Copies of this chain bind each other. A is one copy, B any other.
Amino acid sequence: MSYQAPLQDIRFVIEKLAGLEEVQRLPGFEEATSELVDAVLNENARFVEGVMAPLNRVGDEQPAVWNDGAVTTSPGFKDAYRQFAEGGWQGLQHPVDFGGQGLPKLVGAPCIENMNAANLAFSLCPLLTDGVIEALLTAGSDEQKARYLPKLVEGTWTGTMNLTEPQAGSDLAQVRTRAVPQADGTYRIFGQKIFITWGEHDVAENIVHLVLARTPDAPPGVKGISLFIVPRRLVGEDGSLGQRNDVYCASLEHKLGIHGSPTAVLLYGEGKGEVGEGAIGYRVGEENRGLEYMFIMMNAARFAVGMQGVAVSERALQKAVRFAAERVQSRAIGSSKPADTIDQHPDVQRMLLTMRALTEGARATAYVAASLYDKAHHHADAEVRKRNQAAYEYLVPIVKGWSTEMSLEVTSLGVQVHGGMGFIEETGAAQYYRDARILPIYEGTTAIQANDLVGRKTVRDGGAVALGLIERMRETIAALEASGDEELGLVARRFTESVDDYEIVVNYVLETAGSDARAAYAGSVPYLQLAGIVHGGWHMARAALVCRKEHVGDAFHARKAATAAFYAMHILPRTHPLRLAITEGAQAVRWLVA
């Protein structure tokens, strides 16, 4: 089996670290019993292992093919997508009212992780559909919800996000696509969108494009952008499919990785459909508030891309562990055999442990964030909802930015463990290295996440959320120290140093953001990285507490505790150079520019 869902770690994290029980007690989640959660996780594992994982290499080696605007996806993808939709996987976290299962994000997150680990390129399609559903749920009219949501939730149609244009990447102020109002209240859309993930394909019968565009009198910049639904085929009131809209896939990109995911250039308004010139679009919400709505979608997608980072790391780890357990090279220190499997060599162990520690730390951070989301949306107490929402929003750029950056290190180590075989494409380790490279770029680069973390998430509330989290970290330190356990004491020592670094940095950001914005932003990505390392280390330390106190002796928990200790000794000290780069390094960036 090329991928095995890490169900034991997933269950440990959702139960012991992310508070599944508490989430199950929230209003609206009454049906998410432990039996149901178990059944969902098991069925998800079965599906991704059996159907999606075997197609991962197929997609890499046989990318989607473009022919005069039509796209044929990789062999097997269409049938797998049909099974995906029939299994109800698209609707997992979406409202029962629109055909979904209404499960907590804390249950959805591991399913999404497993799907992406099994097949990152394939899973991008439902990932984008999720975003479209979120945006329509929040900003769509009742009529739009009724017309589009049921089909999207059941997976009959898929969704896309159309933001990027050649001159407008991270800078959406430069969007030029035009939306011309028509007498009947619809719009005609004209323009070119690039990098549209799953922008054209053959796995579903329709595609709902959400498109950013400007109306004729819109103000310049980001305050003049509106959001439009542009279905590939028009949809009748009864949900029936009508004419082909004027959106045309001009080409697919030739990419470094995620070959199985067709990345389209879409032309709107070239007269290529059956509706005359201009793609027919329906405005979502109010005029000029498009970016705001798109951010709803982006936030859902950003969390999911963070899960992709965890997912591709887990997949790379599993492959490296298997290889290292089989490959025999050189005698290990102290061994009496002529040669041992390479997982007996200390440097290979160091690499595998680094991979495991980072992956588990990022997973725990993401699931804890998912749990905050559930409380933010379902808790009975408005004050609790608000507090959890703020904490969730603080964590989103960290989950997105750090999980994806660390996946570059993990997938690179995955290649290295394989030695020369790792560089040969047939081995498969190289695919994860290539696939992962998009993760810190799309749905907002790491710099964009870091700017969000500094500006909207740290400075805006005067550091309230960040400093509140630090306070809770210090409670964990106290518990580690109170345990009297030697190993936990070591973890506490390292964790204390890193939490101190974290606090210094948060205060530095708060102090400089007003007086010296360049200094604050020169350290934004190091701040994000530092925060990711500390949050991962926090939940690994919490895991160590559970394992050393409740489960001494059991193999899984012993390994988990050891991984946490490795995290503390090898990963946490990385906060030191990051802290120095932030608090003392801004000047060095300026020297060059001067």
Residues of A within 8 A of B (CB): 164, 167, 169-171, 173-174, 194-195, 220-221, 253-257, 328-330, 333-334, 338-339, 345-350, 353, 408, 412, 415-416, 419-426, 430, 433-434, 437-438, 440-442, 445-447, 450-451, 487, 494, 517-518, 521-522, 524-526, 559, 561-563, 565-566, 568-570, 573-574, 576-577, 580-581, 584-589, 591-594
Contact = CB atoms under 8 A, between A and B. Distances in A.
A494 B580 CA distance: 10
A174 B425 CA distance: 25
Given A330-B171, A562-B592, A566-B591, A164 B345 contact: no
A302 to B, nearest CB: 15
Contacts of A570: 577, 581, 585, 588
Nearest to A439: B423
Given A257-B423, A434-B256, A350 B522 contact: yes
A282 to B, nearest CB: 27
A569 B592 contact: no
Contact of A437 (B423, B441, B580, B593): B423
B447 A423 contact: no
Interface of A is mostly: helix
Given A255-B424, A423-B441, A588-B565, A416 B518 contact: no
A441 B132 CA distance: 43
Indicate how many identical chains form the complex. Answer: 2
A19 B82 CA distance: 68
A523 to B, nearest CB: 8
Contact of A412 (B408, B426, B494): B408
B254 A425 contact: yes
Given A167-B328, A580-B569, A588-B568, A347 B521 contact: yes
Nearest to A516: B333
B430 A437 contact: yes
Given A349-B593, A573-B577, A574-B577, 13 more contacts: A220-B338, A253-B424, A255-B425, A256-B433, A349-B522, A408-B412, A423-B442, A430-B437, A562-B592, A562-B594, A565-B591, A566-B591, A568-B588
A562 B585 CA distance: 12
A412 B424 contact: no
B518 A346 contact: yes
Contacts of A345: 447, 521
Contacts of A221: 338
Given A570-B581, A570-B588, A581-B569, A518 B333 contact: yes
B330 A173 contact: yes
B446 A423 contact: no
30 contacts: A170-B329, A171-B329, A173-B330, A220-B338, A254-B425, A254-B426, A255-B425, A256-B415, A256-B424, A256-B425, A257-B423, A334-B517, A345-B447, A346-B521, A350-B589, A412-B437, A416-B441, A416-B445, A419-B441, A420-B441, A423-B438, A423-B441, A433-B437, A487-B591, A562-B588, A562-B591, A563-B592, A566-B585, A573-B576, A576-B577
A573 B580 contact: yes
Nearest to A440: B416
Given A346-B522, A347-B522, A173 B338 contact: yes
